[in-house]
Amino acid sequence: MKVEEEHALQVHQQQFGQQGHASAAPARVNLIGEHTDYTGGFVMPMAIGFHTIAVISPRQDGRAIFYSANYKEEASFEVASLKAAPRDHWSDYPAGVLWALQQENISLGGFSMTLAGDVPLGAGLSSSASVEVATAMALQHHAGVKLPLEKLATLCRRAENDYVGAKCGIMDQFVVAGAVAHRAMLLDCRSLAFDLLPLPEQIRVVICNSMVKHAVATGEYGDRRDEVEAGQAVIHRERPGVNLLRDATLEDLEACKNMMSASSFMRCRHIITENQRVTAAREALLQEDMKRFGTLMIEAHKSMRDDFQASCAEIDLLVEIAMQQPDCFGSRITGGGFGGCTVNIVRAESAEQFVATLQEQYAAKTGIAAQCFVTAPSDGALALAVDGGAE
């Protein structure tokens, strides 16, 4: 990542005529636990080795100037008068973080910021959280403050929820900020307590991008969340003490079935069973039982496809091809859904052959060249800063 950081510093110097300070935040992939985070449930993400670099330097005119090295565009804001007024533009994400920090009465003077990165967009690898957390790391340096993990993640989530208007949960921002290399994170999205779980050395996590893009700030992602919250509200009303789907059982859901829409029932069934799968996956990892872990991934994909109805033909095909390979333990859709990527658990010695076979068969059936990445759990933004990385 040192090369990426040095490039971003050079771009900043060229754009603004000043040396800057660099911060970095990774992307993430979620191994299991989809659409559970915003109902207080369990997730199991890990950070991966794509990054957003944010380079910052002070200005004297009270303005915030964001420059995207990827889009080669600038966006300008008056720091003192910034309002929650998204433009449906890439700059909404860093501007949202600035706004969220101001809501916490963190004093910020004018600044120039360059953003550069290699996180695939619209792939379900959380390019938005990577931008948000990198921006927040840079802004806290600029303000001379150090935010704890929980506060940093919560402010970045607020930026996406209340400024951008995307109804994400806390998972993405939390793991992008707080991940640790060589570990998957089991996160309790209600308490924000987490375990760091080792992945066996003999397996690799392979991410396959269907090249079908999705946008989570609008459309079906928001519809699904509305359906979930409608069902959750019914259960909360009818079952005292069940505040979130995290607390609900399938028996609770069945008892309330006739009081909610069929779609809400299915969405809630996915989340309740998905929480059970995440806790079972934790035990499988602790026992290094990758066959069991893979079975849980397949069950999770079927639930996303059938109950949550958030898959698509290309993703289903990738999973089907993956599970025909002898050294693939499990495969499923990852991210918000409606395109994006699959995540696959594969024997290390077979990872390259797995990628070649999958790409060949997917292209033959769809005409699409899938991007595939063999990954390992990486450090989050806070660990990168502590370990002498870009921060």
pLDDT band at 305 (very low <50, low <70, confident <90, very high): very high
CA separation, residue 237 to residues 189, 244, 252, 260 (Å): 22, 11, 11, 12
Angle of CA points 236, 221, 231, to nearest 5°: 15
Q: Which residues of 271-295 are buried (b: 16+ CB within 10 A; e: fewer)?
A: bbebbebbebbbebbeeebbebbbb
Of 40-49, 219-228, 323-332, 380-389, where does mean pLDDT reach its minimum?
380-389
Alpha carbons 54 and 95: distance in angstroms, whole number: 13
Looking at residue 217, its pLDDT comes to 45
Q: How many CA atoms are closer than 13 Å to the CA of 223, on its beta-carbon side?
A: 10
Which pLDDT score, from 0 to 100, does residue 70 have?
95
Q: What is the mean pLDDT of residues 92-112?
A: 97
Could you report the per-residue pLDDT of 111-148, keeping only the tens digit for each? 999 999 999 877 778 899 999 999 999 999 999 999 99
Residue 141 CA to residue 136 CA, distance in Å, equals 9
Does pLDDT of 62 surpass 60? yes
The pLDDT assigned to 388 comes to 52
Q: Do the strands 111-117 and 63-68 form a parallel or antiparallel pair, or are they unpaired? A: parallel
What pTM did the predictor assign?
Answer: 0.92
Task: State the pairing for strand pair 42-58/21-32.
Answer: antiparallel
- The single-letter code of the amino acid at 30 is N
Q: In the predicted model, is pLDDT for residue 391 greater than 60?
A: no
- Mean pLDDT along residues 318-344: 94
Lowest average pLDDT, out of 218-222, 244-248, 356-360, goes to 218-222
Confidence of residue 248 (pLDDT cuts 50, 70, 90): very high
Tell me if 106 sits within 8 A of 145, measured CB to CB.
yes
**Secondary structure of residue 109 in the 3-state scheme:** coil
Between CA 391 and CA 387 the distance in angstroms is: 9
Residue 108 near residue 138 (C-beta atoms within 8 A): no
Domains of the chain: 2-198+378-386 (3.30.230.10), 203-375 (3.30.70.890)
Active site residues: 172
Residues 230-255 have a mean pLDDT of 96
The pLDDT-based confidence of 214 (bands split at 50, 70, 90) is low
Q: Which residue has the higher pLDDT, 169 or 109?
A: 109
Helix (H) or strand (E) holding 152: helix 149-158
Mean pLDDT of 253-263: 98
Rounded Cα gap, residues 287 and 347, in angstroms: 16
* Percent of the chain's residues with pLDDT above 70: 97
